[in-house]
Amino acid sequence: MAGLVFVFAGGCAGYPTGVAVVLGSLAAAAVYRSRFFGRETISFLVLLPIALPGIVSGIALRSAIHLLHIPFSFWTIVIGHATFCLVVVYNNVLARFRRMGRSQLEASADLGANPLQTFRYILLPELASALLAGSLLAFALSFDEIIVTTFTAGQQQTLPIWVFSQLTKPRQRPVISVVALGVIGLTVLPIWLTHHWTQEKTTTR
């Protein structure tokens, strides 16, 4: 049972991470490179879910899902997790855009590169470490999330909810300890490796 829930929790974390990487990167690019009406409002709305208490976000999401008559399922968990996972990717990518500046993109265009070439050879290598760090942070946040999941899960069960439900059962405590150790390794080690890798890359430059 724990193994199945563990795999399901990984799936729940993986989909929001993918959505957050795509939408967070696009939002960061739009806010950094364009000047349009409502730009600051969009930036505020993107950052809002991480600033609100989890219970407020959970209640708001549950109410919105109910009003839209969407049945609670795996995908409502994905939607709920993506709302706050998007923030960490957005912040990382936007910070990298600001550090990078516009000179490299302008130089690439002046030398005759088309937009696809500029993205492949200039933009993507510059954003790679920010995307990796943001995606790992998003995965860690989603994997360990319990409050928002409680309001959006319906009959589905993720690893944190399973652990919480087993805390009152003394016979399950050894199993919970092993699972908790696995979660710590799964969330801390990749983030540490990413931090180490990005620090090495910065020092080399």
Confirm whether pTM is higher than 0.95: no
List the chain domain ranges. 2-204
Write the single-letter amino acid at 146. Answer: I
Give me the pLDDT at residue 11, please.
Answer: 53
Written as six digits, the tokens of 48 are 């809002």
Residue bearing the bigger pLDDT, 59 or 14: 59
- Is the pLDDT reported for residue 103 higher than 60? yes
pLDDT of residue 95: 87
Report residue 171's pLDDT band, with 50, 70 and 90 as the boundaries. Answer: confident
Q: Has residue 7 got a pLDDT over 50? A: no
Per residue in 16-66, pLDDT (tens digit) is 888 989 999 998 888 888 777 777 888 888 888 888 888 888 898 999 998
Predicted local confidence at residue 90, as pLDDT: 92
Closest CA relative to residue 110, chosen from 121, 118, 99: 118
Does 4 score more than 80 pLDDT? no
Q: Are 80 and 61 spatial neighbours (Cβ–Cβ below 8 Å)?
A: yes
pLDDT for the residue numbered 1: 47
The pLDDT of residue 2 is 46
Res 74: pLDDT? 84
Cα 187–Cα 14–Cα 89 angle in degrees, nearest 5 = 75
Name the residue among 93, 57, 72 with its Cα closest to residue 157.
Answer: 72
CATH topology for the 2-204 domain: MetI-like fold (1.10.3720)
% of residues, the chain, pLDDT over 70: 87
Q: Which amino acid is at 120?
A: R
pLDDT mean over 76-92: 89
Average pLDDT of span 124-137: 85
